[in-house]
A and B are shown apart, each in its own frame.
Chain A
Amino acid sequence: ELKVEQNPLFLSMQEGKNYTIYCNYSTTSDRLYWYRQDPGKSLESLFVLLSNGAVKQEGRLMASLDTKARLSTLHITAAVHDLSATYFCAVDKIWNSGGSNYKLTFGKGTLLTVNP
């Protein structure tokens, strides 16, 4: 069974600092997503990573994928308060043998708090 582990689960950082959230998964994946969730809200798609070595950047966030290590990272550069949220990685994988149906398996999420 596919397992997705994120660390850290809680991250408190100061504005202006850099940090990285890690996402490990247990089997090969087809796609890897990063989502942001604000309290009481739904999931906002940040990045989708499709292949080994993929790197995507949007503003202060950069995501990368190493399929050989089964590892994705979400790097935060010069954090600002507006980035405070919970961040999830999710692995999309065909889950029925011989089929073409995907499902997302999520990590537990990283609660990021950026302090002034």
Chain B
Amino acid sequence: DAGVTQSPTHLIKTRGQQVTLRCSPISGHKSVSWYQQVLGQGPQFIFQYYEKEERGRGNFPDRFSARQFPNYSSELNVNALLLGDSALYLCASSLSPTAGYTFGSGTRLTVV
């Protein structure tokens, strides 16, 4: 079975640009969460979606947005990129918001 797949794996963007990251959960998993991991730190919660509804949002500015599609895949959008947005963005899927998590391999975003 395919695990959690994220695309792209690496991305370089310029300050002020916009970026879209994609995540496909494990088949049957209806919940997707997004985490940001800055180098040398633990991941930080950005969003959780379940059944296409936003269930939670972490302490991130409005430049960050996300959505979940009918097939439960998800996109994370970041507008007006800052150098500080450079990080590994991890997607985690779970059967439900109360179940355990499986993480994807992440998207490494570099903002220059």
Contact A48 B100 (CB under 8 A): yes
The residue among B43, B48, B106 with the most chain A CB atoms within 10 A of its own CB is B43
Interface size class of chain B, counting residues whose CB lies under 8 Å from the partner chain: 20 to 34
Contact B90 A105 (CB under 8 A): no
Q: By the criterion of a CB under 8 Å from any partner CB, how many residues of chain A are at the interface? A: 25
Q: Which residues of B contact A (CB under 8 A)?
A: 33, 35, 40-45, 48, 50, 55-56, 58, 90, 92, 97-98, 100-106, 108
In the complex, A112 Cα to B64 Cα: how many Å? Answer: 33
Known contacts A42-B106, A43-B90, A45-B100: does B56 contact A95 (CB below 8 Å)? yes
Contact B97 A101 (CB under 8 A): yes
Q: Which residues of A contact B33 (CB under 8 A)?
A: 103-104
Q: Which residues of A contact B (CB under 8 A)?
A: 4, 31, 33, 35, 40-43, 45, 48, 88, 90, 95-96, 99-109
Q: Which residues of A contact B104 (CB under 8 A)?
A: 42
In the complex, A31 Cα to B90 Cα: how many Å? Answer: 20
Considering only CB atoms, which chain A residue lies closest to B59 in the complex?
A1
Sample of 15 more A-B contacts, CB < 8 Å, known A103-B45, A106-B42: A4-B42, A31-B100, A41-B105, A42-B103, A43-B90, A43-B103, A45-B100, A45-B102, A95-B56, A96-B55, A102-B48, A103-B56, A104-B35, A104-B101, A107-B42
